[in-house]
Chains A and B, each alone.
Chain A
């Protein structure tokens, strides 16, 4: 008993415990918490991918992937998202160098690439719906719009977050809070690119391939 630090025995023989003060983690655990959020988000996508895997071949005598998807458009879309990932990385490098102008420039470029991605996706959706390939048409199209639409919604929220930070950053400067926010958005943004790898491989390329 006596060897235990922080534990003493009083006259009655009952041990008394002294609790050691826990350090406040000042946002240190935020990155881990945000990572766990991303992992739970990938479970949502896993379920949507599984749904698409099960229903993705049920065309109900309607159009299939080979009839609907324009792979050149998807390649362009993929390029937009990939470019936005590298420009976000460049923004983070400028954050480390504490250069506000260049940070905002690269964040702005990232946002524009994100907007280009969304515009192409919405153009594709509008084109599909115009051709009668609506989510109601077949199980394949329901699963397709749910999976790709959920990814698109994530990108939309990412852009909203990015614009918010582009206002907060010049206003408050490179404070630790802004640094933490930028790190979290960076993880979110790169994570969306990782999900997109699954989407273009499994939904578009393999859809067209396995007619």
Chain B
């Protein structure tokens, strides 16, 4: 129950000395800060994947690869989600351990809010749109001056 019960997260006395040590190179001694650093290999993999995951969606739209635009739109969204994950892992160095799991918790919370804001707005406004003007098709309503 007391504050001294468990080992303190920054009890490592070297943690601060290392940060000042200019010649120390890679190792900073900050247990959880090292998780923010990527290697050259990480950046290269992330860059390669990003190029592919960007080029394919542009190719899909510019060359009209899919006959049905709705199918193409779903494929585009999937590519975007995969690329966002690639950026998170290889450029932002996300993992479940950094900062004791708080970064990933904040990310999950934000993702839930983003999904609610996006799908909620689109869902409600779509229904309003289709119910507001009974005499018009949504297409006509959109092109009203």
Q: Are A4 and B2 in contact (CB under 8 A)?
A: yes
Q: Which residues of B contact A (CB under 8 A)?
A: 1-5, 8, 10-11, 16, 19-20, 22-23, 25-26, 30, 33, 36-40, 42-43, 46-47, 50-51, 54, 57-58, 60-62, 69-70, 72-73, 76-77, 79-80, 83-84, 87-88, 91-92, 99, 102-103, 106-107, 109-110, 113-114, 117-118, 120-122, 125, 142-145
B7 to chain A, nearest CB (A): 12
Given the complex of chains A and B, what is the CA–CA distance between A199 and B143 in angstroms?
24
B64 to chain A, nearest CB (A): 9
Given the complex of chains A and B, what is the CA–CA distance between A50 and B4 in angstroms?
47
A204 to chain B, nearest CB (A): 8
**Which of A7, A19, A198 contacts B80 (CB under 8 A)?**
A198
State the majority secondary structure of interface residues on B.
helix
Residue among A183, A202, A209, A210 with max Cβ neighbours from chain B (10 Å): A209
Q: Which residues of A contact B (CB under 8 A)?
A: 4-7, 19-20, 22-23, 25-26, 28, 31-32, 35-36, 39-40, 42-43, 46-47, 49-51, 53-54, 57-61, 71-72, 74-75, 78-79, 82, 85-86, 89-90, 92-93, 96-98, 173-176, 179, 183, 187, 190-191, 193-194, 197-198, 200-202, 205-206, 208-211
Q: Are B80 and A193 in contact (CB under 8 A)?
A: no
Given the complex of chains A and B, what is the CA–CA distance between A96 and B26 in angstroms?
6
Q: Are B103 and A82 in contact (CB under 8 A)?
A: no
Enumerate chain A residues within 8 angstroms of B143, measured Cβ to Cβ: 59, 61
Task: Decide: A43 near B91, CB < 8 A? Known: A58-B142, A59-B142, A96-B25.
Answer: no
Given the complex of chains A and B, what is the CA–CA distance between A47 and B113 in angstroms?
10
